[in-house]
Amino acid sequence: MVSQITRVDIALFVVTVLAWGTTWFVILGQLGVVHPVVSVGWRFLLASLIVFGICIARTDRLVLTLSEHAFCALLGLFLFCLNYGLFYTASLSLTTGLISIVFSTMVFWNALGARLFLGQPLDQRSLLGGIVGVFGLLILFRKELLTFDWQSENSLALFFCLLGTLSASSGNLVSATLQKRQLTVWNSTAFGMMYGTLLTFGFALSNDLEIQFHWTTVYVGSLLYLVIVGSVIAFGSYLTLIGRIGPGPAAYATVMFPVVAIIVSLLFEGYQLTPLALAAVGLVVVGNWLALSKPKDRKSACRACRR
């Protein structure tokens, strides 16, 4: 586990947060005519083609062993199929605030998974940062929580969000495993997206979902943004970050996504930032600082060990 966050790590973190933080708004352009599951398929079909092109340009290895293919298939299932299919479906009936609260719990699932499956120790300072950050989100979206009808059909959508979060966390652990097996972020992601696409369209066909495309400016424009920014750039940055600092600390980006979404809403939707909302955002920022920074004495000790 990396003991000190570098400038490169911070840059990867910022790129990930900005990329995925804006997709909360853009994803609304995918909802409507095309079934959400089919939209996920189109998204990762196009993204996989781009990432394979990047692999060819980088001369990355594209001949994998059978076990590597199996892990890439798991990556595709968890990260590029179940995860997005469940969240896209939940977006039809839930507010982005509720979705982001559930998704931010990946901080804890990643930390627990890294401890159980990768042997990485639990960092109490990072867990405290996660608690502070998620508490800030609970305050920020308190109205959505207080007005939510737990006995309505939307409870199933909330359950889908939880399953999607667990699926994404599992995909994070698979990616970390693949990088330990000497695959790059790019070739593992390319094959993972390819398998995710096949599984997604396979599910759609087996459930008689119409494989269609909506040739409108909104749908095509939002799809291209989600492909290039939300998939190629975001996953390239995030999965690289996982390989550098581990799944636990990298997951704190999920707590920052809603803050970027709020800023987008502030700029384009007339969102009113109240003092309480500003304080909640402050808690999220403090939580991330706690999670990603290290005490000075630990930094000094790390430097001493490296000499």
**Size of the chain, expressed as the number of residues it contains:** 307
Mean pLDDT by 10 residues, the chain (307 residues): 73 93 84 91 98 97 96 97 88 78 86 86 79 86 80 82 93 93 93 98 95 96 97 96 88 83 72 80 82 55 37
Query: 303 is written with which tokens?
Result: 């430097």
Helix axes 7-26, 253-268, angle to 10 degrees: 50
Please tell me the distance from the alpha carbon of residue 214 to that of residue 165, in angstroms, as a whole number: 28
Q: Tokens for 98? A: 């509720």
Amino acid at 243: G
- Return d(Cα 249, Cα 124) in angstroms, integer: 11
Sign of CA dihedral 34, 46, 175, 306: negative
**Counts for the chain of helices (H) and strands (E), in that order:** 16, 0
The pLDDT of residue 303: 38
Instruction: Provide the pLDDT for residue 224.
Output: 97
Residue 304 Cα distances to 5, 244, 253, 296, angstroms? 16, 20, 29, 12
pLDDT at 269 (0 to 100): 61
pLDDT at res. 270? 64
Check residue 1 and give its pLDDT: 43
Q: Distance between CA atoms of 195 and 131, rounded to whole angstroms?
A: 34
**How many CB atoms within 10 Å of residue 182?**
8
Q: Comparing C-alpha atoms, which of 133, 64, 66 is closest to residue 103?
A: 133
The rounded distance, in Å, linking the Cα atoms of 189 and 248 is 19
Dist. CA 263–CA 269, nearest whole Å: 10
pLDDT at 226: 96
pLDDT at position 295: 54
